[in-house]
Amino acid sequence: MDKTTELGPMPNHIAFIMDGNGRWAKKRNMPREYGHRFGVKALQRILSHAEKLNVSYLTFYAFSTENWKRPQKEVDSILKLLDQYLSECEKNAEKYRFCIRFLGDKTPFGEKRMKRMCALEARTAAHSRVLQIAFNYGGRDDILHACNRLTSSGAREVTAEQFEEALYTHGAPDPDLLIRTGGDYRISNFLLWQIAYAELYFTDTLWPDFRPEDLDAAIADFRLRKRRYGGV
């Protein structure tokens, strides 16, 4: 890097599309569920590193509204991982020092699991850093959900600020940087409203192999970009 190159600020909010768990497992002749388990380890690794970097907001795309179409065995294994993650957080909620929020419709998870998710959100609400886990989330569903909330309240015309308050992500700033692992170049129905001016970073690295140094590389690339927000 040229010593005269002026670096931009660190991203305040980083969002992740954690792609490649299934392919990572397949390369090792293991079932897809094996890849998801190691995907959780990667999430914990990146979460710890991002905390050291003082990133204030992190959003992880864990399970989309379309992922219910996957084989039932795989869906069940992902829900089991969710239960394990909830148990770990319930025991060590203060350890991570993050306000945990689940984005998406919780109702398909059943009353018991939904209560655990809501209780964890309430228990960690006082933390200043925010960890958002998008589970049963879709960008289109988020927008539709916001529209339904607003119309049910009697609203006929709304401002952008009022609309954003009705989104699952209300209260969080828009992502500055969106990172997608796994080699595909698409958004996959993630944060469609919120990433309007996010910088996009794509890497061939499969999510279970994503390391702190990979996050550092993405942030370094981000800080070299000039963000104009439609200006010059």
List residues with catalytic annotation. 19, 67
Asked whether the beta carbons of 155 and 162 are under 8 A apart, the reply is yes
Q: What is the 3-state secondary structure (H, E, C) of the chain?
A: CCCCCCCCCCCCEEEEECCCHHHHHHHCCCCHHHHHHHHHHHHHHHHHHHHHCCCCEEEEEEEECCHHHCCHHHHHHHHHHHHHHHHHHHHHHHHHCEEEEEECCCHHHCHHHHHHHHHHHHHCCCCCEEEEEEEEECHHHHHHHHHHHHHHCCCCCCCHHHHHHCCCCCCCCCCCEEEECCCCCCCCCCCCCCCCCCEEEECCCCHHHCCHHHHHHHHHHHHHCCCCCCCC
Sheet with 199-202: list strands edge to edge. Answer: 98-103, 129-137, 57-64, 13-17, 177-180, 199-202
Whether 21 contacts 208, CB under 8 Å: yes
